[in-house]
Chain A
C-alpha cells in the first residue's frame, strides 16, 4: 500500500531532513492508491489501477531555491534527493518573491478519511457500472459513466519545525444516460469522501428519468429568462468567481475586483445581500485537509457576506507587500441556501427554465467575468408552476456577478464536486443562441 501512517511518514521525512545542509529545507511526502472504471454503450470500456508515492525536497540558500523529487525512500535515495535539491538551489536565479518556510503551526484534526472508501475493490467498481447499465438497458436507454476512487496521504516537514499530516479518501461518479433513439439525454453526478453514502442505482435512476423526460425537445427563442439552476449548473460559474477572488490581481488592476482609479472592491457590496459564501475544511458534508501545500492552516473563512466582499486571497508574499495577514485560497466553496426544495421552486415559477447543468464554460471577458457555455442533459420549460416540456439546449453569455445580482430564491444546498451549493432561481439569465445538441 502506498498510504503511510503519520509515524511512518514522519520517520522518512526526518531522515531526509537530517541530510540537509541548506539555509532551510522543506519536505513534502505524498502517496495515493486509485482505481477507476469507465463504461459506455451499456458495456464496460476501460478500467485501471494506479499507485504512486513521491517525496519532494525544496532547499534554499537565501532567496535561491531548488526542488527535487524521488519515489524511493532508502537512506541512499533520500541523501541523493536532498543533494540534488541543494545543487539546483545553488544554480538557480534569485527569486525576489521567495518566502522563508513557515515555523510550527497548529492544525485542526481533519475528517477526510473513510475506511470503506479505502477498501473499494475492482468487483465493487464493476457493480457500480452494472447498477447503471442494467436499469438503463431495461428502459431502452444507453449508459456511459465513470467512477473513480482514491486514498491519499500528504505530509510536510521543514527545518523550521513545521509538521503536518493528512489522510483522505474520495470518490467521484458521473453517468450520462441517452435514450436509444438519440433524442433524450440525462446526467447525474455524485462525490463523497465516504463511499457508504453512495447509491449508484439511485443516482443512475435520476439520469435515466431525465433522459426519458428530455426526449422530443421543442425550440424556444433565445433571450433573457428566469432560470432554476441545479447546483451542477451553477457550480461552474460560482467556482470561477471564487477562484478570481485574488488580491494581487485586483491590486494590479487586472481583475473584476479592481476599482476605477486604483484599489480593490474589498468590503463593497457586489451581489444580492442574501448571498453568503464561505469555505470550511471541517464541514462534515464537504471536508478537506486543514492545511494547504504551503503548510498554512485552513480555517473557516468568509468570502462574501450579505452580498459584500469580506475577504480576498493574499499569498504570503503579497500579504507582506501590502502589510496584511495572508489569506489562503479556499479549499472548498459553501454557499448558504434556503428552505425551498426543487419542487417548491418549480411550483412558484410562472414562466421559466430548469437547467440540469452548464457545459464547456469558458471566460469571454475577465473584466466583467463574462462566461459562455451551453445547457446540457436536461433543459425544461416551466409554465404556471409545472414542467411543461423539454426544450432544446441554449448557449448562454452571462457573468456570475450579474447572475447573483438577479437572485430570486435560494433553495436547498447539495454537495457538488466537493462544494455545497444551493438550488437557485435567477431572473434575466442571458441565453444568446440555440443549439441542436442532445
Chain B
C-alpha cells in the first residue's frame, strides 16, 4: 500500500504520523481476526508443494513462507474517531537458489497450482539472473529443527479486546490533553499479529505467532497571536507485547526530572496525554537554546533512536559490504576496523549488544525468516567493535559459519533479507540514578523522547532533536528549552559517553516502521538503555524566521 492510501485510511494529512506499508492487506470484520487460520498440517503440505517443485526444477535450496498478517489500527483526533482498520493479508513467498542465484516470487493464490506457478517464476528469475551472477550464493549451515513453534508471551491478545474499549481509551487521552491546554491531538493505536509458517529444504517446519503494539499521539498547542505552534510526542514505546501494555501499572512508571513521567513495560496513556498538553503549552514560551557545547543527558526513549541510527544501521553486514549502497548507503564501520580488534567505537564503558530474544522487545522471535534459531551476541564490548549483524548468505564473508539469525521480511509478499535485531546499550554496573547524573552536570541539556533525526549514508554525521528539552546548570534543571538539536560524529559521540545509569532506569525505545531495502520494507526493532551522559556535544539552534 502506498503512503497516499494510508493517509486516506488514517484521514490525517502529511506531517502527522507517518507510517508506510504496514497497512497492506484486505479489510476484514473485527470478528474475522479471531479466526484461527489455516491448520499447521495443511500449511506443511502446501509448503512441501513449493519445496518439491523447486527441487524438481533444479533448485539447490528453497524456502517457503506462508504468512497471515493481521493488523488492527485505530485513529482518532480530538473527540472524533477517524478510522478503525482491520486488515488481513494471506499468501506465500517462495525463495530459491538455482544456478547459484537467488530467485523469489509470491502469490496470494495459496493452492497447489498457485504455489507451483510462483515457484516456477522464482526459478525463471534465478536462471535469467544467473547469467550475470559473478559469485554463487553460499549459505552458512543451519540445524534442521523439524516441526517446532514459538509464540510472543502475551497476557492479553488485542484481538479479544473490544474495539469500543480501545476507542474509549484514545478519546479519553485526547480529552485529557484538550482539558489541559492542547489545541489539537492526533492519537493512534497500532496492533500487529504475524502468523508465520516457514519451511525449507534444510528440513525445518516452523510455526510462529508474533505480537506487537504501539499506542502513540501528537499533542499540539497553538498561540495564534504570535503564530507559534509546538508539539509533544507520546512517551510510549512500541513493544513486543499484547494489550496488557495499556494497563498503566504504577509499578512500571518512573519519575523523571522536571515532573516528567516515564514508562517501562506498561503505559498510562491518559496520564501521559495530560502532561504532554502542559509541556507543549510550556514549550510555546520556552527559552530558545544558545548554540554551543553542552553535556547531554539522554533519556532512553530518546537515546534509542540515536542507538538505532548510529550503531544499529552501521553494523549491518550487508551495508558494510555494499549491498545497500544504492539506497540507505554503506558504513564507516569497515571490515579492516573490525579485523584490527582495537577499533574504539566508544569509550570503555560502552557495551552494545545485539539480540533477538529479549522479552517484550519488538525483535523477539524464536526463529528468523530463514529458519535460524535466534540468540544474543556482542557488537561492541568495552568500547571495541567486535561483530556485525549477518545472515546465512553473508556470514561467511566475515569468516564465521553460523548465521546470527536476523533475517526478516515484512510479509509473504516480499523477499527476506538482513534486518536489524534489537541493539541495546548495557546499563551501568554501579548504583547511579538520573538525579545523581544531573547533579554531576555543570552545563548541560536533558533530552527526552523522539524528535527529528538525520544521518549520512556512511553513518558518520548525525543530527537529532527530541520532544522535551531541559537546561541543566550547576547540577540542577533550571527550565525548559526550545529549538534544540545536536550534531555529532558517531565515533566521537560514543567516545564522549561518560556515564550510564544503572539497570533500575533501563527501558526500551522502539522503531515500529524502520525502512530498508529496494523495494523498501519495514521492520520493528527495540533499543534498550538507561539514561546516559555524553560530554561536550555540539548543540545548534534550529529557530528561523520565514
Contacts and interface: CB of A to CB of B under 8 A. Distances in A.
A372 B323 contact: no
A95 interface: yes
Given A48-B105, A54-B26, A433-B461, A253 B222 contact: yes
Given A43-B134, A146-B326, A399-B546, A367 B228 contact: yes
A60 to B, nearest CB: 13
A311 interface: no
Interface residues of A, number: 95
Contacts of A15: none
Interface string B128-166: 110111110000000000000000000000000000000
A202 interface: no
26 contacts: A38-B326, A43-B134, A43-B135, A44-B129, A45-B102, A51-B107, A56-B27, A69-B28, A84-B28, A122-B125, A144-B323, A243-B15, A249-B15, A254-B220, A259-B227, A261-B225, A362-B454, A363-B15, A363-B452, A365-B544, A368-B545, A374-B454, A397-B463, A397-B542, A434-B461, A436-B460
A309 interface: no
A49 B458 contact: no
A367 B395 CA distance: 46
A370 B544 contact: yes
A68 B413 contact: no
B45 interface: no
Interface in B311-331: 321-327, 329-330
Contacts, number: 244
- Nearest first, the 5 A-B pairs at minimum CB distance are A144-B325, A435-B461, A437-B458, A437-B456, A69-B26
Interface in A143-161: 144-146, 148
Given A45-B102, A52-B108, A36 B129 contact: no
Nearest to B465: A364
Interface string B249-290: 000000000000000000000000000000000000000000
A75 interface: no
Contact of A95 (B81, B413, B461): B81
A432 B487 contact: yes
Interface stretch (A86-94, A225-233, A279-287): A86-94
A92 B125 contact: no
A20 B81 CA distance: 25
Nearest to B135: A43
B128 A95 contact: no
A409 interface: no
Interface in B28-47: 28-30
Contact of B4 (A50, A84, A293, A361): A293
Given A48-B106, A397-B542, A243 B14 contact: yes
Nearest to A207: B326
Given A360-B455, A363-B452, A372-B452, A126 B29 contact: no
B180 interface: no
Interface stretch (B5-13, B202-210, B493-501, B529-537): B5-13
Nearest to A365: B542
A252 interface: yes
A97 B224 CA distance: 25
A293 B5 contact: yes
Contacts of A359: 329, 456-457
A46 B102 contact: yes
B540 A376 contact: no
A412 interface: no
Given A260-B224, A364-B465, A366-B231, 18 more contacts: A43-B132, A48-B106, A50-B105, A50-B106, A51-B107, A67-B27, A88-B29, A93-B167, A122-B128, A252-B184, A252-B222, A360-B454, A360-B456, A368-B545, A397-B542, A401-B546, A437-B457, A437-B460
B59 to A, nearest CB: 15
A126 B131 contact: yes
A376 B11 CA distance: 35
A217 B80 CA distance: 54
A246 B14 contact: yes
Interface in A357-394: 359-370, 372-374, 376, 393
Contact of B463 (A187, A249, A372): A372
Interface in B57-115: 80-82, 84, 87, 101-108
A395 interface: yes
A98 to B, nearest CB: 10
A123 B101 CA distance: 15
Interface of B: 4-5, 8, 11, 13-15, 25-30, 80-82, 84, 87, 101-108, 121, 124-125, 128-129, 131-135, 167, 183-184, 220, 222, 224-229, 231, 321-327, 329-330, 332, 413-415, 417, 452-461, 463, 465, 483, 485, 487, 489, 518-519, 538, 540, 542-546
B29 A254 contact: no
Nearest to B7: A329
A176 B325 contact: yes
Contact of A48 (B125, B229, B330): B125
Given A51-B107, A68-B28, A244-B14, A370 B542 contact: yes
A45 B454 CA distance: 27
A96 interface: yes
Nearest to A292: B4
B518 A36 contact: yes
A378 B323 CA distance: 20
A49 B414 CA distance: 10
Given A256-B546, A261-B224, A437-B461, A129 B132 contact: yes
B135 A49 contact: no
A28 to B, nearest CB: 10
Contacts of B184: 252, 254
A374 B461 CA distance: 9
A367 B223 CA distance: 12
A194 interface: no
B484 to A, nearest CB: 10
A259 B483 CA distance: 21
B509 to A, nearest CB: 17
A54 B5 CA distance: 13
Given A47-B125, A93-B167, A362-B453, A261 B132 contact: no
Interface in A224-267: 243-244, 246, 248-249, 252-254, 256, 258-262
A175 interface: yes
Contacts of B133: 43-44
Choose among B124, B322, B485, B487 the residue with the greatest number of A CB atoms under 10 Å from its CB. B322
Nearest to A375: B456
A85 B101 CA distance: 44
Contact of B540 (A39, A258, A259, A397): A397
Nearest to A402: B546
B417 A46 contact: yes
Contact of B229 (A187, A253, A361): A253
Interface string A31-64: 0000011111111111111111010100000000
B518 A436 contact: no
Contact of B518 (A146, A262, A365, A438): A146
A133 interface: yes
